[in-house]
Amino acid sequence: MGERKSEAMATVEIDSRGRVALGKVATPGTYRATAWADGSVLLEPAQTLTKAEIAVLRNPAVSADLQAVFDGTADSTAYDWED
């Protein structure tokens, strides 16, 4: 992982139940937490996949079809159906 510039810093406390409020330094979402031997904790934005999604993505034909769809979205045009 490359060097990153810090955008927010705050002192936080962990309560007796192991919880910490991160509203000052993080946005709502899903994160992967890594605890290091020195006591530091790294939170990385994460997306969760189901076992079914992983199985589908492991299928080379399906993966190729999905990649073709994703590649085509850059050329798509947004349309406002309300107009």
Condensed to tens digits (0 to 9), the pLDDT of residues 9-35 reads 888 899 999 999 988 888 899 999 999
**How open is the CA angle 55-43-13, to the nearest 5 degrees?**
140
- The answer on pLDDT for 74 being more than 80 is no
CA within 13 Å, CB half, 16:
0
Does residue 18 sit within a domain?
A: no
Does residue 20 sit within a domain?
A: no
* Residue 76 CA: distances (Å) to CA of 49, 62, 69, 80, 83: 26, 21, 10, 13, 18
Does residue 66 sit within a domain?
A: yes
Range of the domain at 54: 49-73
- The whole-model pTM stands at 0.54
**How open is the CA angle 26-31-35, to the nearest 5 degrees?**
95
Does residue 64 sit within a domain?
A: yes
Q: How many domains does the chain have?
A: 1
Q: Dihedral of the CA atoms 6, 3, 1, 36 (nearest 10)?
A: -60
Question: Which region, left, alpha or beta, applies to residue 18 given φ > 0 means left and ψ of -120 to 50 means alpha?
Answer: left
- The answer on pLDDT for 73 being more than 90 is no
